[in-house]
Chain A
């Protein structure tokens, strides 16, 4: 017990440093985004890109991290893997929500409609639904809920390329599938900077959420230990 104290303090310090760096990063990113050149046709509206695309990237990253954690849980019985899967799925739902809010806003301004059945819109929607399903399975799945959710994460990860491929073929090719590599040079730095900063925020939130889950598990263990001790002495 006592030996865990310094490591707890150290990890708190590490977390604070991470948090401060991320906050500072968001400050710099907003300056960079503000100074980035305006897009020719969309103008100021295109700035949502620096917010929207990193969120979409984190939605995908969350799905694969969730599947990785579930793999460790299912096949190696790793509780840590299970916590990682749960926390990244939650973050995936959160960042997916950002994608689902910013996407239609941008679409309305750029294409005149809130939603089209475009490959990336549809794929991210399905991905988001799968992560919500993961959460539902965890919460309401009963005794087998954790393993059910883990299986769901595995299928979701196997599904990602299939969903993308099938929706792509279903709706025909999207005109600009290589948006990022065709970015104007002035937009590249702000974009990759905000991508890095959003990822850092994801990492900080993940660490924080996993810590909370870990503490909760410890608390349950301790409560059971106390109950056992009281039962023995009585």
Chain B
């Protein structure tokens, strides 16, 4: 504990001569962990997670838009966020992301998973334009 107290004194002295530490800031973190795909969510993506979690994998969205991958958006692909850059090409969101299709799937969802917003989030986190 005494050594930690000494370290605290040293820390306070350094702070007096340095307004921001060399390790400060989010840019450093985002850069450091880019290779690990540990990127932050936006405010809207973060608030979306609650509604995505309602997905019970019933498959009704898939029946509505005739796409085998749609039912997996909520329970398979949106969970391991850090893997999205490696797996995003599975989803072919360019074709599946036709707003009308996903809107139909979303309308069929009994628990209200917002498929259009979900697809947009996966696309961004996967690094797709």
Q: Is B a genuine binding partner of A?
A: no
Q: Which residues of B contact A (CB under 8 A)?
A: none
